[in-house]
Amino acid sequence: MGECVRTGPRSCSFGDVQMFSLAPYVVNVTAMNPLGTASRLLPFLLENIIKPDPPENLRVSPIPGEPKKLLLEWSPPGSWPFPEYFPLKYRIRYPRVPLTPLHPQIGPYEQTSYTLTGVRPRTLHHIQVAAKDFTDSGEFSDWSLPASGTPWTGP
């Protein structure tokens, strides 16, 4: 695999790694300080450490004539390569207003839109979305920036 090229104070990057390798990659991590040196070999499979960036452009819209529904739409993270070939699945959370420590979550869903039903009419809802590799490899992204919306309150 070669040497890890430093990309930040606590990170580095390898070239020429492959997903779904039959053998794990092994990284030799060495820590040095005035008291000495310690090393450890850490095996990993690339697909087990995948973590996408959060979804982008989350929009929350009322649905005309539907006082208990909201339309949610978002885009895959711009950093995710070829989402049409390597799809993501999504989880949605919508804390109750006023904010409580409990955040109801639903999903995962495969599409980049969702109709949220059973929401409180005339109430502002704050919503976030997280993404994960479709094959369930790795972990969910951090939550997207929140978007807010109120269900339809028409005539």
Q: How many domains does the chain have?
A: 2
Could you tell me the residue range of the domain that residue 15 belongs to?
5-49
Please tell me the pTM assigned to this model. 0.77
Let me know whether 136 and 70 are in one domain.
yes
pLDDT at 100: 62
In this structure, are 88 and 137 located in the same domain?
yes
In the 8-state DSSP scheme, what is residue 92? E
Q: What percent of the chain shows pLDDT beyond 90? A: 51
Q: Which residue has the higher pLDDT, 3 or 30?
A: 30
What is the spatial distance between Cα 104 and Cα 12, in angstroms, rounded to a whole number?
Answer: 36
- Distance, CA of 96 to CA of 51 (rounded, Å): 27
Kindly state the average pLDDT of the residues 33-40: 93
Q: Do residues 148 and 123 lie in contact, with contact meaning Cβ atoms separated by under 8 Å?
A: no
Could you tell me if 87 and 135 are in contact, meaning their C-beta atoms sit under 8 angstroms apart? Answer: no
Kindly state whether residues 86 and 135 are assigned to the same domain. yes
Mean pLDDT over residues 122-142, rounded? 92
Long-range contacts of 98-107, Cβ-Cβ distance < 8 Å, separation of 24 or more: 99/126
**Paired residues of 25 in beta bridges:** 44
Q: What is the pLDDT of residues 85-104, one digit of tens each?
A: 889 999 999 876 665 666 78
